Chains A and B, each alone.
Chain A
């Protein structure tokens, strides 16, 4: 089967825009003195040649692309110069995502992305098929996957709605999604910039000192509103449904995204609460499968549920992984001292850097302003310590970290890959250690890994061995010879 015909004009347009940008830039920077050269025959010829070659290239690429849904696999043939034949077995397909940006919505086409467990990026993309065809593909692949697992009872399952973002939750999402790092930036930028502005204004200094804070406030609120609005647009109309052994979601106002999350491939479940959400009693839920986190074509904060009341989010999490009540063990109090020292050093270091800067350039008159943060250091240390913890019971190990953005990660023992305990020089001095529980889900750069930080050193060693041991017994308890992952019902 072929891609949809509207692909060609869309791709030509997309490439043309890029090329057009280059041409405009070139024209603008080149012969600006002689207006006659803008419409010179050679330039027009070059542009026309470029457009023709783009059209030709896209036509060829379109003709060379084909896909098929066979009994066992999805076959994809592609490539102009180097041909590529790919066969992906249905049971190895983890997620099927559908993406549609604004222009594609107008044209009625969408992109289908297939994910397998190998590699961190999308395994196969169909760019672009008719929107209805994309839904059909998702449906068929879903059905064929269900057919190939040993659990046949989900033959005629219905789609049940698990969660839908209400109007109020849209609002909360917008409010809560402010990028709080901006506050940090402003606290550094202000001491550097304000005095210079004041000097520049000279006699109007009083005005600046009056309007300065107001401008800063407007800037903060502006950025807040902007990042909140973007998040609302991204998750507009979010719906989460369950069909048999699969979760499906769809979201977005201008750009639509939809995807499937196979429950049997779930690695970990993460609850995210930033400081604002916590105050309001809301949280967001993220489900990680092997290969990547759902919807990561967007490379931003990914969620299975972008925002919901905390109890609701917990209940949904328990639908996926039935963990019990969580009671966290905090790190020993000497860890708190460690954080206090660390933050104090950071503040002093920043002050030192600013002082050096002012000594060298003579501009930063207010280099001592960061010192005002020193009284806040013990509070910050306590907060960081309070929100840390771990919990391990018979079936799950759970870690929790972070004040500004608290992440609670639930790891079923049978999803543990490797477990490691580590001690830096400073931790050794205080007899502390950190346990990292590696899983197959989430982004590779340490994002989404369950870590129990700064716990007692001997407890860390014990925890490491316990997790490894429980992994073995969890696997033994639910041992299935089938290649698909063990089904949930047999796990204790």
Chain B
């Protein structure tokens, strides 16, 4: 995990040099945070749903292809276990941080991706809640930039309070960021 902290102070110096803006920027940044553990339930539900659909399909197809249905059940079970392991690992890896010049995300099990989304590039910030998330009391923060992967920057598994708090912070930092229009 690369987190050069010296970068922060040089960045502050590059700005107007007014101590007020430095302080207000610092007021909005956060340290490294993780998602709410409940998000694992949401992911597990999706994984189990997919596995059971596959199992049902397998059950229908198996007799025609001459495969023992019990093999299908065993395979589905193995897949489910693997899926749950993946869900937990995914939760363990997920981290985000509101830095003074960008939003930083770290995620992914099979492919780990570390994304830096500068505040000055953020067009707008949405919160969204799917049905499963609503039941669990979670929401997702979606950050849009002008890049071709616009909605790639999204943080799931936040409580609604956390999500609107983050939305506020990112909005404030985006407004304070220099650079004119986000193109």
Q: Which residues of B contact A441 (CB under 8 A)?
A: 148
On whether the beta carbons of A423 and B111 are closer than 8 Å, the reply is yes
On whether the beta carbons of B146 and A476 are closer than 8 Å, the reply is no
Contact partner of B146 (CB less than 8 A), chosen from A440, A458, A472, is A440
A-B contact pairs, 9 of them (CB 8 A): A416-B118, A418-B118, A418-B147, A422-B113, A464-B114, A465-B4, A471-B118, A475-B178, A475-B180
Q: A420-B113, A485-B180, A485-B183 are in contact. Are A476 and B14 (CB under 8 A)?
A: yes
Closest to A481 in B: B180
Closest to B112 in A: A423
On whether the beta carbons of B108 and A472 are closer than 8 Å, the reply is no
A174 to chain B, nearest CB (A): 31
Q: How far is the CA of A414 from the CA of B177 in the complex (A)?
A: 13
Q: Which residues of B contact A422 (CB under 8 A)?
A: 108, 111-114
Query: Does B153 interact with chain A (Cβ within 8 Å)?
Result: yes
Query: Does B135 interact with chain A (Cβ within 8 Å)?
Result: no
On whether the beta carbons of B11 and A472 are closer than 8 Å, the reply is yes
On whether the beta carbons of B110 and A425 are closer than 8 Å, the reply is yes
Query: Does A482 interact with chain B (Cβ within 8 Å)?
Result: yes
Q: Which residues of B contact A267 (CB under 8 A)?
A: 183
Query: Does A419 interact with chain B (Cβ within 8 Å)?
Result: yes
Q: How far is the CA of A424 from the CA of B102 in the complex (A)?
A: 24
Contact partner of B114 (CB less than 8 A), chosen from A458, A461, A479, A480, is A461
Query: Which of A117, A438, A448, A475 has the most C-beta atoms of chain B within 10 angstroms of its own C-beta?
Result: A438
Query: Which of B112, B113, B146, B178 has the most C-beta atoms of chain A within 10 angstroms of its own C-beta?
Result: B146
On whether the beta carbons of B101 and A468 are closer than 8 Å, the reply is yes
Query: Does A417 interact with chain B (Cβ within 8 Å)?
Result: yes
Q: Which residues of A contact B149 (CB under 8 A)?
A: 418, 438, 444
Q: Which residues of B contact A440 (CB under 8 A)?
A: 146-148, 183
Closest to A447 in B: B148
Q: How far is the CA of A467 from the CA of B115 in the complex (A)?
A: 12
On whether the beta carbons of B7 and A469 are closer than 8 Å, the reply is yes
Q: A419-B116, A472-B14 are in contact. Are A444 and B148 (CB under 8 A)?
A: yes
Query: Does A453 interact with chain B (Cβ within 8 Å)?
Result: no
Query: Does B181 interact with chain A (Cβ within 8 Å)?
Result: yes
Closest to B15 in A: A476
On whether the beta carbons of B148 and A449 are closer than 8 Å, the reply is yes
B14 to chain A, nearest CB (A): 6
On whether the beta carbons of B11 and A469 are closer than 8 Å, the reply is yes
Name the interface residues of A415-460: CB closer than 8 Å to any CB of B: 416-425, 428, 438-446, 448-449, 458
Query: Does B141 interact with chain A (Cβ within 8 Å)?
Result: no
Known contacts A424-B111, A428-B112, A449-B148; 16 additional CB pairs below 8 A are: A267-B183, A290-B183, A416-B118, A417-B118, A417-B145, A418-B118, A425-B110, A438-B147, A446-B148, A448-B148, A461-B114, A469-B7, A472-B120, A475-B178, A476-B14, A476-B179
Q: Which residues of A contact B110 (CB under 8 A)?
A: 424-425
Contact partner of B2 (CB less than 8 A), chosen from A425, A444, A461, A469, is A461
Q: How far is the CA of A298 from the CA of B150 in the complex (A)?
A: 24
Contact partner of B116 (CB less than 8 A), chosen from A418, A462, A473, is A418
Name the interface residues of B100-129: CB closer than 8 Å to any CB of A: 101-102, 108, 110-118, 120-121
Closest to B110 in A: A425
Q: Which residues of B contact A290 (CB under 8 A)?
A: 146, 183
On whether the beta carbons of A421 and B113 are closer than 8 Å, the reply is yes
Q: How far is the CA of A481 from the CA of B145 in the complex (A)?
A: 20
A76 to chain B, nearest CB (A): 23
Q: How far is the CA of A465 from the CA of B112 in the complex (A)?
A: 16
Closest to A290 in B: B183
Contact partner of A479 (CB less than 8 A), chosen from B147, B153, B178, is B178
Q: A475-B178, A476-B14, A476-B178 are in contact. Are A465 and B148 (CB under 8 A)?
A: no
Q: Which residues of A contact B146 (CB under 8 A)?
A: 117, 290, 417, 440
Q: Which residues of A contact B114 (CB under 8 A)?
A: 420-422, 461, 464
A7 to chain B, nearest CB (A): 34
On whether the beta carbons of B183 and A438 are closer than 8 Å, the reply is no
Contact partner of B115 (CB less than 8 A), chosen from A418, A428, A476, is A418
A342 to chain B, nearest CB (A): 16
Q: Which residues of B contact A481 (CB under 8 A)?
A: 180
On whether the beta carbons of A417 and B179 are closer than 8 Å, the reply is no
B75 to chain A, nearest CB (A): 21
Interface digits, B1-35 against A, CB 8 Å rule (1 contact, 0 not)?
01010010001001100000000000000000000
Q: How far is the CA of A471 from the CA of B177 in the complex (A)?
A: 12
Interface digits, A394-427 against B, CB 8 Å rule (1 contact, 0 not)?
0000000000000000000010111111111100
Q: Which residues of B contact A461 (CB under 8 A)?
A: 2, 114
Closest to B111 in A: A424
Q: How far is the CA of A297 from the CA of B71 in the complex (A)?
A: 52
